């Protein structure tokens, strides 16, 4: 995510008719996983007048842990948007996020089956952002279960990651996504109001999206087929080895695209700035392909959206605030470079963004500087570093405890400014210092090896440090162990 510096003020029930049911059932399971990842097969139908999504989801889950699991946990992020008092938006940003006043958003679980049989389930957490599904005899290591969930999602009139505005419908962090099970057990962190409070595993997705045909849709994944029927359009989309699935819809999207290095870059915009966005995204993809290792996916989409926080990364798609297309070009370029860098750091190499946000944000912010250096030279990088990073640190010096940057969790922060100064700006400077200490050759070897070793996985800060020390010895340790 990025959006702080220039925005310092930051600032029904749908009857499930026979027609809808048939739409949900038309598309059979086609692409099962090769067994290395879980597979989500999701059907979405938008009821436009109520802004409700009727959905079904089939998760093919394999227990890759060493112990028997008696339950599975899923995040129900939309439930964070139920009540004004607990919505993950800062109080002074509520009027910006909800331009027409607060409106509720939620997810309602209607049915859960495990391997074809009705299963016990319950919601948990202060705002019911967790779903616990009981696994009747437990799933042993290596065993597979199919978890079917029927649910509906109410989109709020909110111009955040999740909701809708005048020009776009933003559907992100919206379906029951499996929590990560790691050495700490199930990670059940709620939707925190600062940072990008997400943590997930790479999975395969097959998603069918049905919307009134006046909408055009930008999404994670590759479009496999499009079908028109009775005023609706159904998009069949497949995405392999991604850690989330997001989509954005607009009646006014104009799509242009560019094919570079085995990737089609798409720019979907509604305010006329799509060409600039496409140029910046193309440059960013080429830059990071060269510096970190090749982007392995077929598509990358830049989606303009009604969005009050700058930019937000999702696998194979980035969400960019519409106003950035009208601001100075440098800000749009900065945002796009930052969000495209997240395709490497968050998308491909994942991490626990709640407890170790420096790992992706610090490196992504520094990668943004590398973009400017690669494309415009070392002097330009210095200027950008001075105006975007160092100035931010100098302005808010009181926030910085220099020996405690790397290991902050999101919970240490209760405002975006402090988070931005510590994790983004100081976080990027840790990389600058590391690079200066170990030299370019070893620093870029480190980034390339880190990418190669952890792509499609989740890395820890300790993994990054260990790799750095292996490559550059005590020069790296001296820097990284100081923060
Ligand atoms: Zn970011």
Q: Could you tell me the distance, in angstroms and rounded to a whole number, from the CA of residue 1 to the centre of ligand 1?
A: 3
Q: Could you tell me the distance, in angstroms and rounded to a whole number, from the CA of residue 50 to the centre of ligand 1?
A: 32
Selection from 318, 346, 87 nearest residue 199 by Cα = 346
Q: Could you tell me the distance, in angstroms and rounded to a whole number, from the CA of residue 306 to the centre of ligand 1?
A: 18
Same domain, 430 and 281: no
Q: Could you tell me the distance, in angstroms and rounded to a whole number, from the CA of residue 9 to the centre of ligand 1?
A: 19
Region 337-352: mean pLDDT is 98
Whole-angstrom Cα distance, residue 242 to residue 221?
A: 9
Region 13-19: mean pLDDT is 37
Q: Is residue 310 part of a domain?
A: no
The CATH number of the domain holding residue 191 is 2.60.40.1730
Mean pLDDT in the chain?
Answer: 92
Q: Could you tell me the distance, in angstroms and rounded to a whole number, from the CA of residue 374 to the centre of ligand 1?
A: 19
Q: How many helices, marked H, and strands, marked E, lie in the chain?
A: 11, 25
pLDDT computed for residue 400 by the predictor: 75
Same domain, 241 and 261: no
Q: Could you tell me the distance, in angstroms and rounded to a whole number, from the CA of residue 194 to the centre of ligand 1?
A: 12
Same domain, 188 and 266: no
Q: Could you tell me the distance, in angstroms and rounded to a whole number, from the CA of residue 363 to the centre of ligand 1?
A: 9
The CATH number of the domain holding residue 467 is 1.10.390.10
Q: Is residue 28 part of a domain?
A: yes
Query: What's the total number of domains in the chain?
Result: 3
Q: Is residue 308 part of a domain?
A: no
Does residue 63 have a pLDDT over 50? yes
Q: Could you tell me the distance, in angstroms and rounded to a whole number, from the CA of residue 482 to the centre of ligand 1?
A: 23
Same domain, 74 and 200: yes
Q: Is residue 195 part of a domain?
A: yes
Q: Could you tell me the distance, in angstroms and rounded to a whole number, from the CA of residue 362 to the centre of ligand 1?
A: 8
pLDDT computed for residue 483 by the predictor: 84
pLDDT computed for residue 327 by the predictor: 74
Same domain, 199 and 273: no
Same domain, 226 and 278: no
Q: Could you count the other beta carbons within 10 Å of the beta carbon of residue 483? A: 21
Q: Could you tell me the distance, in angstroms and rounded to a whole number, from the CA of residue 378 to the centre of ligand 1?
A: 22
Q: Could you tell me the distance, in angstroms and rounded to a whole number, from the CA of residue 342 to the centre of ligand 1?
A: 7
pLDDT band at 3 (very low <50, low <70, confident <90, very high): confident
Q: Could you tell me the distance, in angstroms and rounded to a whole number, from the CA of residue 310 to the centre of ligand 1?
A: 10
Q: Is residue 266 part of a domain?
A: yes
Q: Is residue 312 part of a domain?
A: no
Give residue-wise pLDDT tens across range 305-322.
Answer: 999 999 999 999 999 999
Q: Could you tell me the distance, in angstroms and rounded to a whole number, from the CA of residue 90 to the centre of ligand 1?
A: 18
Range of the domain at 454: 357-480
Q: Could you tell me the distance, in angstroms and rounded to a whole number, from the CA of residue 346 to the centre of ligand 1?
A: 9
Same domain, 291 and 371: no
Q: Could you tell me the distance, in angstroms and rounded to a whole number, from the CA of residue 463 to the centre of ligand 1?
A: 20
pLDDT computed for residue 4 by the predictor: 54
Question: Of 30-44, 316-330, 376-390, where does mean pLDDT reach its minimum?
Answer: 30-44
Q: Could you tell me the distance, in angstroms and rounded to a whole number, from the CA of residue 58 to the centre of ligand 1?
A: 30
* More confident position, 31 or 173: 173
pLDDT band at 25 (very low <50, low <70, confident <90, very high): very low
Q: What share of the chain is helix, strand, coil (3-state, %, to 5)?
A: 35, 30, 35
pLDDT computed for residue 33 by the predictor: 44
pLDDT computed for residue 7 by the predictor: 43
pLDDT computed for residue 396 by the predictor: 87
Same domain, 227 and 268: no
419-428: b (≥16 Cβ within 10 Å) or e: bbbbbbbbbb
Q: Could you tell me the distance, in angstroms and rounded to a whole number, from the CA of residue 286 to the centre of ligand 1?
A: 19
Give residue-wise pLDDT tens across range 404-448.
Answer: 788 999 999 988 899 999 999 999 999 999 999 999 999 999 999
Same domain, 13 and 123: yes
Q: Could you tell me the distance, in angstroms and rounded to a whole number, from the CA of residue 424 to the centre of ligand 1?
A: 8
pLDDT computed for residue 403 by the predictor: 67
pLDDT band at 35 (very low <50, low <70, confident <90, very high): low
Give residue-wise pLDDT tens across range 100-152.
Answer: 999 999 999 999 999 999 999 999 998 999 999 999 889 999 999 999 999 99
Same domain, 216 and 330: no
Q: Could you tell me the distance, in angstroms and rounded to a whole number, from the CA of residue 232 to the centre of ligand 1?
A: 35
Region 287-304: mean pLDDT is 98
Selection from 477, 474, 456, 482 nearest residue 465 by Cα = 477
pLDDT band at 20 (very low <50, low <70, confident <90, very high): very low
Domain end residue (candidates: 232, 250, 268)? 250
Same domain, 202 and 292: no
Same domain, 156 and 226: yes
């Amino acid at each position: 995510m990025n959006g702080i510096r220039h925005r310092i003020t930051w600032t029904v029930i749908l009857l499930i008719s026979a027609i809808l049911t048939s739409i949900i059932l038309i598309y059979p399971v086609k692409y099962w996983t090769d067994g290395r990842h879980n597979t989500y097969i999701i059907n979405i139908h938008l009821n436009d007048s109520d802004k409700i999504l009727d959905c079904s989801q089939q998760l093919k889950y394999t227990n890759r842990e060493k112990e028997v699991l008696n339950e599975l946990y899923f995040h129900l992020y939309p439930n964070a948007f139920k009540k004004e008092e607990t919505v993950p938006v800062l109080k002074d940003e509520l009027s910006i996020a909800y331009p027409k006043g607060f409106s509720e958003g939620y997810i309602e679980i209607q049915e859960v089956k495990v391997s074809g049989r009705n299963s016990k389930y319950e919601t948990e957490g202060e705002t019911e952002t967790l779903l616990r599904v009981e696994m009747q005899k437990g799933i042993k290591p290596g065993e597979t279960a199919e978890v079917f969930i029927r649910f509906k999602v109410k989109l709020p009139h909110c111009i955040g990651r999740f909701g809708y505005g005048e020009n776009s419908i933003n559907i992100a962090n919206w379906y029951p996504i499996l929590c990560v099970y790691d050495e700490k057990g199930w990670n059940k962190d709620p939707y925190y109001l600062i940072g990008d409070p997400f943590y997930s595993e790479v999975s395969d997705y097959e998603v069918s999206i049905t919307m009134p045909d006046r909408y055009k849709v930008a999404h994670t994944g590759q479009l496999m087929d499009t079908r028109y029927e009775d005023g609706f359009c159904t998009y069949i989309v497949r995405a392999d080895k991604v850690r989330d699935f997001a989509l954005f819809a607009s009646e006014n999207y104009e799509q242009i695209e560019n094919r570079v290095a085995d990737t089609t870059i798409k720019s979907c915009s509604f305010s006329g700035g799509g060409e600039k966005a496409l140029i910046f995204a193309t440059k960013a993809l080429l830059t990071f392909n060269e510096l970190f290792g090749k982007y392995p996916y077929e598509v990358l989409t830049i989606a303009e959206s009604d969005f009050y926080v700058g930019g937000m990364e999702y696998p194979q798609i980035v969400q960019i605030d519409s106003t950035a297309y009208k601001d100075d070009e440098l800000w749009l370029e900065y945002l796009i470079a930052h969000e495209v860098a997240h395709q490497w750091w968050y998308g491909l190499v994942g991490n626990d963004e709640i407890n170790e946000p420096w790992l992706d944000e610090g490196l992504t912010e520094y990668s943004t500087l590398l973009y400017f250096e690669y494309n415009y030279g070392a002097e330009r990088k210095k200027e950008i570093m001075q105006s975007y990073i160092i100035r931010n640190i100098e302005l808010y010096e009181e926030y910085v405890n220099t020996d405690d940057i790397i290991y902050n969790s999101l919970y240490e922060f209760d405002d975006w400014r402090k988070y931005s100064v510590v994790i983004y700006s100081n976080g990027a400077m840790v990389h600058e210092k590391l690079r200066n200490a170990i030299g370019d050759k070893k620093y870029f070897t480190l980034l390339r090896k880190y990418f190669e070793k952890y792509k499609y996985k989740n890395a820890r800060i300790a993994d990054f440090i260990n790799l750095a020390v292996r490559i550059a010895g005590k020069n790296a340790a001296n820097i990284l162990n100081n923060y």
